[in-house]
Amino acid sequence: MTKLLITYFGAFEGVEKNPTREIAENVGGALAHTHPDVDVTLHELPVSFVGSSSELTRVLAETSADAVLSLGVAVGREKASIERVAINLDDARIADNDGDKAQDRPIRPDAPAAYFTRLPYRHLVTEMTAQNLPVEISDTAGTFVCNHVFYELMHALASTEIPGGFVHIPATRPDTETASHAANMTAHPETGGIEGREVPTLPVNTVSNIVQRIAEAMV
């Protein structure tokens, strides 16, 4: 049985309720029906530079996953973003949930400057865009905990052939709502978000569908 690990985050400054949890749960539930041969583990990582590293290391060892997909929210984006590259840098104007306000700090001083995703991003984006799904390739995962986890994940998988990657989702709204903007979220550039405008949203079902397709491509 193939083991898929999906990680997500909880609340942090400007995001009182992180939508990645609901998306991860939706995808896990859908895969239980469409891919019963896949054992899906969902796990919340702390919004902490230090804490996310230790927790990711622990859950990777505990699950012995065959594929790993990490999710984060980038408030202000209009599409789901498959992140192409993780950089070896922590730098943020906002503090993580432990109060750590990193500045110009390498994640791993003796490790490579960057790692690339192992997701088939070009194929996925081409296919889903042709079906009018709002998805894109992104070349910046920010410099907050999302990028930190993405980098640590790819560093952990570097000596293996295990597929892994990171997807940023935009703010979401219930499928029954038509409002296109979220009033209770704040965009921060270091989290991969876009400042200076109203926060766009996508329906939960649309984002869940996109992430499910990405997960299916991994397994």
| Residue positions annotated with a catalytic role | 83, 146, 168
Q: Which bin fits 192, alpha (ψ -120 to 50), beta or left (φ > 0)?
A: left
Paired tokens of 67: 């594929």
Non-local CB neighbours of 75 within 8 Å, separated by 6+ positions: 14, 15, 170, 171, 182, 185, 186, 187, 188, 191, 193, 194, 199
Region label for 91, one of left (φ > 0), alpha (ψ between -120 and 50) or beta (otherwise): beta
132-138-141 Cα angle (round to 5): 135
Distance (Å) of CA 55 to CA 44, 146, 211? 9, 14, 23
**Biggest CA-to-CA distance, the chain:** 49
Residues 97 and 219: their CA atoms lie apart, in Å, by 33
